[in-house]
Amino acid sequence: MNCVCFTALGKAIHALSRIGNELWLDPMAKGLALRSVNAAHSAYGCFLFSPMFFKQYSLESGSKQGSKSVLPLFRCLTSIERSVERCHISVSTATDRVIIQFFCRHGIIKTHNIHFQESEALQAVFDSHLCPNVLKAPARLALDNLSKISEVNLKISSVFLANLGECG
């Protein structure tokens, strides 16, 4: 996979590292899915990058790896934006490694070989029809509004129920 807009990929990795310590790279026909779940399996996050996001995209087998090993590669996104021209991600099943290459200015190539475990794809198990509330918004708008919420207050009002047969 050749990626030109790798800062979006880096931001997705940063967001998923806040959810859990493991990161699933799941190449599919619909695109590359980055997934994470916390240890209690109570929080799940997924980013799907379509094949059009990449200059070149081909399917490989999925892999699971610690996001803590990938996170340092994308730690300082502003310096990466300035120095890196493109990013190449490939999976070598023979050596059980994910190879991330940053092609920098002046012909410098930084190659990172990260060990991975072969695993099944991580999927959230829930019924979507049991989730009546859906919130869709651009990322910047959602971040601006959610950052202003400091505390959740629930208001409880009194409700009186009466049996119509008794009132009559």
Entry pTM: 0.63
In a domain, 13, yes or no: yes
- Position 83: which residue type? S
Q: What are the residues whose beta carbons fall under 8 Å from the beta carbon of 58, sequence distance 6 or more?
A: 1
In a domain, 145, yes or no: no
Q: What are the residues whose beta carbons fall under 8 Å from the beta carbon of 35, sequence distance 6 or more?
A: 16, 23, 24, 26, 44, 45, 46, 47, 121, 122
| Interval 29-47: pLDDT, tens | 888 888 888 888 777 888 8
Domain span at residue 119?
2-127
Q: Which has the higher per-residue pLDDT, 102 or 135?
A: 102
| Angle at 146 (CA atoms; ends 140, 149), nearest 5 degrees | 150
Structure confidence at residue 110 (pLDDT): 92
| Interval 8-17: pLDDT, tens | 888 888 888 8
Average pLDDT estimate for 99-125: 78
The enclosing domain of 43 has a CATH number of 3.70.10.10
Q: Say yes or no to pLDDT of 109 above 90.
A: yes
